[in-house]
Homo-oligomer: A and B are copies of this chain.
Amino acid sequence: MKTIGKLAQSLNLNVETIRFYEREGLITQPTKPISGYRQYDETIAGQLRFITKAKMLGFTLKEIKSLMSMDNDCAQVELLSRQKLAIIREKISDLQRLEKVIVDMTNTCIQNDDPTYCPIIDSLK
């Protein structure tokens, strides 16, 4: 059992972030004692680790909330994961298209000595 500060420290999170997740209903709040500080147990630490990992996979907090509430309904979880995968793949191909445009653009710049003209700027006009 830890106070929020110790918990934050052990998970490398900000106290304010944990409080934010509480407000957002992402984690269960330990009941506040009549007097004193709230105590956080391993369950909550686990929830926070879950959030951190899912965030790294690109899930939004909203989606993470869903994930946590669908608990072990594997089909539903799989669906959400596949949707996320589709979005990620779309983003990748968007970025690859972009990459190509910018590469082409910057290449036109290389051999340019004219100080009054920039082909990149020009291509944006």
Contacts and interface: CB of A to CB of B under 8 A. Distances in A.
Task: Provide the main secondary structure of the chain A interface.
Answer: helix
B125 A57 contact: no
Contact of A53 (B74, B88, B95, B124): B124
Instruction: Please state the number of chain copies in the assembly.
Output: 2
A63 B99 CA distance: 17
Interface string A92-125: 1001101101110110011010111111110011
Nearest to A101: B57
Contacts of A49: 125
Contacts of A116: 72
A115 B77 contact: no
A27 interface: no
A103 B117 CA distance: 47
Interface in A59-97: 67, 71-74, 77-78, 81-82, 84-85, 88-89, 91-92, 95-96
B46 A125 contact: yes
A44 interface: no
A105 to B, nearest CB: 6
A106 B78 contact: yes
Interface string A15-50: 000000000000000000000000000000010011
